[in-house]
Amino acid sequence: MTNLNNTEESFRNKWSNNPDTAFLETLRENSDIFNWILTRNGFKNKQSLQNFLSAKKKILDAGCGNGRVTALLRKYSDPIVTKIVGFDIVSSEIAKENLSGSENIFFYKKDLLEDLSDLGQFDFIYCQEVLHHTNNPKQSFLNLVDLLENEGEIAIYVYKQKAPVREFVDDFIREKIAGLPYEEAMKISEQITMFGRALAEQNKLIKVPTVEILGIEGGEYDIQRLIYHFFMKCFWNAEMSMRDNIVINYDWYHPQNCTRHTVEEIRGWFENANLYVTHEYVDFYGITMRGSKK
């Protein structure tokens, strides 16, 4: 098994203690999470997603976590037409349990850096919020590309390199808590969550000028988003439970494997893999890219 320092154990604790984190919010139409997934992947609405999936015969959700996006893919595809496979190194059984009533879905325990050829070929591979947690994100990506059918498509999302102060603070906190047991790391994550909530509850906008040396883009921001974008991750979403908010902050700070990337780097991955980029979306948080075999 690939050595993932604390990362494997971190996610095992996350999912075993919180098997339904963000599950319902991912499926709830027009929730922030639902809209973010569709927007970053280039789908204007649920019908757009459904139309895209209708042509797919075999879909892979690589690094499926608790199966929340697997469930989304199932909801907007036809189980008679489309087979869905999900795998994860630590939580495949949790995903299987969460989708126990769904048709034509299969889950496996797999490592992205090991041989995946027994899974077969796919015409659509979804791997988002996953690659940056592996020991070798590019090789993990290439292992998935090997599973693409001719003209098949792969859609990935990886963390983007952020403003320098944000990078420093994120790494500082991660270094401090990565070695802590789950419960202790969650307590610190709760403090960070409460800080994010306090900022959000100010419900005020602030206009700031550009500060190029610090990577701060001028504009008008909610105070919580200003801090979140440029200084430290302090996630808060009032649509979600306090527990889920805490878990999302834990998910960012506790796993040691947490690489950040540039758009040019990810374009290079696709070019080197002989993939044609069909969609690209970049925001403050990450890089979403979809491509197909040339």
What is the pTM for the complete model shown? Answer: 0.96
Cα–Cα distance measured from residue 68 to residue 21, given in angstroms and rounded to the nearest whole number: 8
Q: What angle do CA 221, 230, 215 make, to 5 degrees?
A: 105
> What tokens does 126 get?
């979804």
Q: Directed axis angle between helix 32-40 and helix 68-75, to 10°? A: 70
Q: What is the pLDDT of residue 147?
A: 98
- Find how far residue 153's CA is from the centre of its chain: 18
DSSP state letters, 121-187: -EEEEEEES-GGGSS-HHHHHHHHHTTEEEEEEEEEEEEBP--HHHHHHHHHHHHHHTTS-HHHHHH
Identify residue 142 by its one-letter amino acid code: L
Q: What is the pLDDT of residue 2?
A: 41
Q: What is the pLDDT of residue 159?
A: 98
Q: Report yes or no: 124 and 41 within 8 Å, Cβ to Cβ.
A: no
The order of strands in the sheet holding 122-128 is 105-109, 83-88, 58-62, 122-128, 148-159, 286-293, 275-282
Mean pLDDT (10-residue bins), the chain, 294 residues: 72 98 97 98 98 97 98 98 98 98 97 97 98 97 98 97 98 95 98 98 97 98 98 97 98 96 98 98 97 90
Distance set, CA 76 to CA 54, 79, 193 (Å): 8, 9, 32
